[in-house]
């Protein structure tokens, strides 16, 4: 039972939210109020926006959200912000330009896959496009439902679609971990279990490596559909063969560690096993030759 959309589909993507709501059969509309109530209790300092954000993600330039981000202790900002896109290199503050580009891409995703779009709009309340001087693009486990999107100009729609799905996956994982637990010792997983990251290609603690592996496999699966045909510069994620190879290297790194297995809960192990099984499929091994748009 996997907590992410392309690996597990609608039912398992909603599992954490249904656990929070106390209703294993709840539909999206049934989950809106329990989810907002849970967010308000869990993170009261995070503004989730007006009632409309329960139905559709809101693009905003909210100084209070950026103030909240800057208030995170320095020791928390680095571990908690999954900013996997390298230096932003922003030259000017143009939140309206970023908003237009991201909003147009999200509309494309909603049209291509209405089910994904519906769950995205349930889970993600606000996408913060201001704060250009921080150069932060990512998500925080302390601010579930908020995506930080201070991105530079010039990304194509394929890049932006992958960015949105990348961050959406982090939020599904944050929720699933809160509902079910992915680690036997969360603090040890956040600081130990060092292994190779599929996204960054560097050694990181297990909690971030597992997130990165799931995201990488989600992006590989995403590229097999219509999103894979959208124009892309390749700035957000590497080409498909590289991403596949780095994901396999990540799996091998985790398997080689005697420290990691005791840190994974049953749920966390299921996440890892599903990623490994997906990468072992012959069709996934051939992705690099099949996906000309990303090679």
User: Where are the domains positioned within the chain?
Assistant: 5-294
What's the whole-number mean pLDDT along residues 223-240? 88
- For residue range 94-109, list pLDDT tens digits in order: 778 888 999 999 999 9
What's the whole-number mean pLDDT along residues 98-124? 94
What's the whole-number mean pLDDT along residues 24-28? 95
Mean confidence (pLDDT) of the chain: 85
What's the whole-number mean pLDDT along residues 167-172? 95
Q: Does the pLDDT at position 286 exceed 60?
A: no
Write the DSSP string, the chain. Answer: --SSHHHHHHHHHTHHHHHHHT-TT--HHHHHHHHHHHHHHH-TTS---SGGGGTS-EEE--HHHHHHHHHS-HHHHHHHB---S------S--HHHHHHHHHHHHHHHHHH-HHHHHHHHHH--EEE---TTT--EEEBTTSTTEEEE---TT--HHHHHHHHHHHHHHHHHHHHHHHH-SBSSHHHHHH---EE-TTT-SEE-HHHHHHHHHHHHHHHHHTTSGGGGS---SSSS--HHHHHHHHHHHHHHHHH-TTTGGGB-HHHHHHHHHHHHHHHSHHHHTHHHH-GGG-
What's the whole-number mean pLDDT along residues 103-130? 94
pLDDT of residue 104: 95
pLDDT > 90 fraction of the chain, expressed in percent and rounded: 60
Q: Does the pLDDT at position 9 exceed 80?
A: no
What's the whole-number mean pLDDT along residues 168-184? 96
Q: Which residues, other chains included, contact 64 with Cβ-Cβ below 8 Å and sequence gap of 6+?
A: 47
Token pair recorded at residue 30: 């049934």
What's the whole-number mean pLDDT along residues 113-127? 95
pLDDT of residue 2: 42
pLDDT of residue 51: 85
- For residue range 263-285, list pLDDT tens digits in order: 999 999 999 999 999 998 745 55
- State the pLDDT confidence band at 132, using cuts at 50, 70 and 90: low
- For residue range 42-83, list pLDDT tens digits in order: 999 888 888 888 899 999 888 788 777 766 654 333 334 445
Q: In this predicted model, which residue has the larger pLDDT, 176 or 151?
A: 176
Token pair recorded at residue 29: 């509309």
């Amino acid at each position: 039972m996997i907590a992410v959309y392309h690996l597990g589909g609608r039912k398992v993507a909603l599992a954490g939210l249904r656990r929070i709501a106390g209703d294993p059969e709840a539909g999206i509309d049934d989950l809106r109020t329990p989810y907002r109530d849970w967010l308000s209790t869990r993170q009261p300092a995070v503004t989730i926006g007006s009632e409309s954000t329960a139905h559709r993600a809101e693009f905003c330039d909210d100084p209070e959200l950026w103030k909240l981000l800057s208030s995170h202790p320095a020791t928390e900002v680095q571990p908690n912000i999954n900013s996997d896109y390298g230096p932003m290199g922003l030259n000017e503050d143009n939140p309206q330009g970023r908003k237009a580009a991201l909003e147009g891409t999200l509309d494309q995703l909603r049209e291509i896959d209405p089910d994904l779009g519906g769950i995205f709009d349930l889970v993600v309340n606000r996408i913060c496009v201001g704060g250009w001087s921080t150069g932060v693009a990512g998500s925080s486990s302390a601010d579930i439902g908020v995506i930080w999107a201070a991105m530079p100009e010039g990304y194509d729609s394929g890049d932006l679609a992958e960015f949105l799905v990348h961050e959406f996956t982090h939020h599904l994982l944050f929720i699933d971990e809160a509902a079910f637990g992915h680690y036997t010792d969360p603090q040890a997983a956040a600081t130990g279990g060092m292994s190779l990251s599929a996204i960054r290609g560097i050694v990181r603690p297990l909690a971030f490596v597992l997130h990165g592996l799931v995201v990488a496999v989600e992006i590989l699966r995403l590229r097999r559909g219509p999103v894979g045909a959208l124009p892309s510069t390749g700035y957000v994620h590497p080409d498909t063969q590289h991403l596949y190879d780095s994901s396999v290297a990540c799996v091998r790194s985790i398997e080689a560690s005697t420290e990691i297995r005791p840190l994974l809960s049953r749920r966390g192990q299921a996440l890892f096993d599903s990623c490994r099984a997906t990468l072992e499929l012959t069709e996934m091994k051939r992705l690099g030759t099949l996906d000309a748009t990303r090679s």
